[in-house]
Each structure stands twice: as C-alpha cells, then as structure tokens.
Chain A
Amino acid sequence: MIEVTSLKKSFDNVEVLKSIDFTVNKGEVVCLIGPSGSGKTTLLRCLNLLETPDAGTIAIGNSRVSFNSILKKREIKEIRQYSGMVFQGFHLFPHKTVIENLVTAPITVKKDNKTTVKQKSEQLLEKVGMSEHKNKYPDALSGGQQQRAAIARALVMEPEVMLFDEPTSALDPQLVREVLKVIEALANEGQTMVIVTHEMNFAKRIADKILFMDEGYIVEQGEGNQVITKPQNHRTKEFLSLLEED
C-alpha cells in the first residue's frame, strides 16, 4: 500500500529526514513513535505531500513519485487521493457545521451526488458517535468531539490510508479515550493507517508494526508491539525508559 525509499527532507539546512525506508501493507496499522523532533510528523506529512521531500520515492496506492524533479500538480493530486489526514489541531472548518465539514470536499472535489454524500456522512457521524452534534459549529464542541468529526471528515473521501498526526496530543486527558476508541474501531475494520503517537499503551494494543524514529532515521522497527515490549536498540530503550519515569 505504501512504499517509501530513501526519503530525505531538510528545512533550511536542518536535515529532518535523513534516509527513510519503510513499507505499509494493506490493512496494516503502523505506529510511528519517537522523541519530539525525531521527524515523525514530517514523515507523515510527506506521505500526502503537505511537505515536499527533497529526495527519494513514495509509492502509495497505484501512484509513485520520485522527488528528483519539481512536482507536477497532477502528481500531487494523484498521491493525495489515496490518503486522508487527521491533524493534531483538528483543523475543522469553523464556518461550517459538522455535517457541512464532511460534505464539502466530496461535493466540490469529487462532484458526488449531494444526497448520497449526505447519507454517507451521516452514517460516518453515527460511527464516530457525533450524530447528535451534526448541526453544530466546531466552536461549540469539545476537543474530543472536534477530533472525532475530523476523523469522519477524512473518512468520507474514502481514503485507502488514514494518516493520524498525534491525534490526541492537543486533547484534555479525559477526552483522549473517546478518540482512541474511534481509531481502534477503524483498525478492527481493517482500515490501513499510519499513526504518529505518544500514547504507548495505545500503540502497543493497536499496532501491527511499530517504527521508532530518532534524529531523522528509523532506528528500529518490528512486528506487533515488539519495539515497545522488547526494544533492541539502546536509543529505543532509553526513550521508553524515560517515558516510564513519568
């Protein structure tokens, strides 16, 4: 589903991604963990080209891009259609109600039939437990509610892969669970996902594969929750032990 090879990205001479290789198979849940500044979020944002990598290739769904020359608009569009993104800061459209947040993209981008889109959106809102709030504006919702609506908004475009960028980091502790439950339900349905997270217990429970990143490299990766339960690399061990001290 996703194949990343020798991916590199710098911001003003700071090399954030040094050479990244990994694959995600269909139906897999991959968690990216690691200290702040390790490049997890940048890597995730490269997958739907919110950041343009400097070198390497990304293959996702049926399209493949190499970052040797300047990207064409068509290539960006092609890559993006395979993924949906959930942001740390939700980024719902504040001037639109929850249901309008969902229907806008399918109607304007895909020119889908309005009634069908609305029906599908309502089903998705039901699934994330947001039906009763569908006519509210984002500003009237809690962070957890906003994030669940944002997940539904990404899902309505029927992406092959869902990308989550620290989906619970901006939430009050008591709201984290409701969002994680929604993501877990998606995982159980077989949705392919890449999740950047600091929730180690969640990653342990849900991941088919865990990648540990540090200083722009994937330092360690392993099937299931091995990376967290039986870390091999000394930096992984160090990172996990720091978390336990809390």
Chain B
Amino acid sequence: MKLKLHEISKSFGPVKANSNINLTVDRGEILGLLGENGAGKTTLMNILTGLYKPDSGKILIDNKLREFHNPREANKNGIGMVHQHFMLVPVFSVTENIILGEEPTNRFNKIDLENAKNKVLKISSEYKLNVDPDLIIEKLPVGIQQRVEIIKILFRDAEILIFDEPTAVLTPQEVVEFFEIIKNLKKTGKAIIFITHKLQEVLEICDRINVLRRGKIVGEEYPKKTDKKKLAQLMVGRKVNLRTSRKKMEQGEVLLEINDLSILSDNKEHVLSNVDLKLHKNEILGIAGVQGNGQTELIEALTGLRSVSSGKISYFGKEYKNFSPRKIHQLGVRHIPEDRQKQGLIGDFSLTENSILNTYYEEKFSNNITLNWANAKIEAKKIIEKFDVRTNSENISANKLSGGNQQKLLIGREMSRSINLLIASQPTRGVDVGSIEYIHNQIVSARNKGIGVILNSTELEEIIALSDRIIVFFEGKVIAEFPSDTNPNIIGLAMAGEN
C-alpha cells in the first residue's frame, strides 16, 4: 500500500503542532521521520492512527481518500503502530496479548486460542521473528516484547507500519536484530515509517529521510547523499557540535571507593552482588549496560535512596553508607536522577519551588519556619540564566518546560552549588540534540574542574563520547572494564553478557 499525507495541519490552541505536512511512503520503503521532541512527530502519527482529527489536509491510501475516527478504523485500513511504550498485559501470554481486542471466537463464543496461535506462529516464521506464542510477556526480554507488538499489528493485516522510537529500549545487539526484522518487512512489501531522533539509525536503515522541525517538514534527504552533521543542523535549525571535545586528563586522587557491595531486593534476591569500583577526581566513569542490570540500584544506594545490605563505600576515605539523601547532598554529592519527572523535579511546582528542592531547609532559604521566597527566586533566576533554561518566567510550573529545559534546570540546580561528586543517570534521555550538546559540555567541564563523575546511560554512544573509563553491568555484577577508546561492538557484547 502507498500512503500519502497531503497538507496536514493541526493546532492546539495557538500552537501549530503540524502545519501543511506532505509526506509519502510507498510499499517496500522505509521512511525515516527525524525530529526533536516537540517537533510534531507524535501529533502527526496520532493523526495517522486516528487518535486526532487534523484541522485540514487529507490522508490518501493508494490514492483513495481516507478518514479515521479512531485507532481501530486506522487498523482496518492497514495502518499499524508500534508505540515506544509497549501496550502489553504483562501476565498474559504472547497469543493472548496479540488477540486482545479482536478475540477470534468459535461457534459457542469461546475464544479460539488454538487458531490464533497458529496464525501467530505463521507470522512469526514468515518474518523470522522467532517468538514462542505460549510464553508469558513479563518473562520476555524487551526485544522480544517489541516483536510481540510487531506481530500484533501484522496479525491485524497492517501494510503500513509505524515505529515510534523503537530502539530507545533495546541493547545494541537487539538493535541489530531489529534492523534485520525491519528489512524483512520491507522485502515483503510493507511500507514503514521509522520515527526517531537518532541520526545514526536513520542513516543506516532508511531509504529516505524527512526532517521535522516546529511542525513543518524542513528537509528531505537521502542517506547516501547526506551526513549526520547536515541532518542535525536541519533538525535543530543551527550548527550543532555532535562530538564533545574532551582532552585527556590525569586521574586525580581516589574520590569514591566501593568494596564488595551487595544489595538485596524486597524479595531477598541479589540485585547487586559483590561490586567493587573506584572513582577518581578528574574522571568520568561510564556505566554501560542494559537497563535493569543493577545500575539503578547502585545509584540509589550511592544517593541514599536505597539501603545497602553489605559491603563498604568510602568517600574521601571516610565511611559513607546508608546515609540519608540530605546528608549525602550536604557532602557535595549531586544526583541527576534517571527520571527527571518522577524524581528530579516536581512537575506541578514552579521553577522557583523546584530550584530549592534539596536545599530549601538551608539558612539561605529558610529560617526553620518560613521560606525565603525572595532568595529562592534569585536562585531560580540564576539557574535559568546560567544554564540557559528557555522560559519566560520562573513562576511557571516545571511540566510546562520542554524535556531539554527541564533537564537543564535540574542540572543547573545540582551543579550550581559546591560539588565533589556528580552522579548522572541518563542525563540526556528525551532531550533534544541542542540540549544534549550543552549538557555534555557541562559534564565534561565539571570533570575538568576536578569533580568525579559517574555517568550511567543506556546510550552507548553517550558513554563512549564522555567516559574516561567504562564499566559494564550485567545481572547485578560488573562484568567488564574498558578504556574509553574501545570498539563499541565489544562493549555491546559485554552488555549482552558475553565476555
């Protein structure tokens, strides 16, 4: 099938989320849709899948005008979408998940699982997806769960497949496998739209790239005739420095030392076992690994959010274990949490209120009874100015800022005070390219000033770009350590547990 969007526009109040968008994707073609957060990618796809109605414009499938009022109608017309966050019921089996909403029934209105299972098996083998229809979703790795989502839309006979940031949750190896699957789908004549903000991936897999900025298509490129620099410039609207310059530095003295650290989960399983590591001044230690291999727990333990079962942590040579978050903060440890909306900021609080989240009790902001809002305001303004937070007022609530600006506010709050150790977790997740550049520079300059940095990221590219030393977590253990100039493929293998 051939999909054509003609002059699609959609506004939310004064905001033009999409204006006059023209886009086509043909059968057997992979179209990359590249754009920063807030560029209008999601709105466009929601129009395409029937969640929003466009203000104007037409959707044509095989040159016939179509209109969808809900996702089901879009489905019937052959459009299927794999969302970034999977829509699966964890306790259901693969087959049960796939038929959910369209359960095939027999004469007695009983669900015909057997029949459905066979169809799942057939799809699975046709596209080399290799999924066992009887397994329970929550026991499957993320990469397989994603394949279940793919089967789900193929089960509904989708011919136009939309993938929203499909690689965000995958390991490098899973990404390779995922690309194979996409290529297979392409061979069988499916039309594919691949939404992402990762430049490398569109260059690698797409036949054609459309770049979206501020609701408009600002460029159409072909992978063979373009490069990362050019794409980034189109995406952001200005020149972007993709690689942070980082000069070699001598390691300083030991700042943080962890010996034989173990953490038990609530049901007494080891989420972290016998971890040893050292961090020096003037050093960025990158923690690579697929999410859920103990990195989060280590960071929570270091920041006082989780208690440690056994082992030793010393900081400047002094015992540092199971301290409260406040005490740790007072020692000059700054934490950029992995989920800024869940942990680092309070969305409904104003920027002023957020900028004193972990210092509100200090003399500067409080006399123990009342808060000094004047000083808090000054603090907020200082952060906004110094860390380039784009906002017109410090009085608006934090959830009105874009992801990049939220992150800059958070990083600004943590870095604008005296600091010895920076623990940064996913510092650029969901952040636009322009802000990534800025945040990376901040982290490197902190390290140049003598600060020790622990950088936890699932983006291997980010780890390699910034780290002086890289360790890999797998199943709660440190299974490998690499110097900064290691080949990404080797690190990727370690992340998958192969050594």
A and B: partners? Answer: no
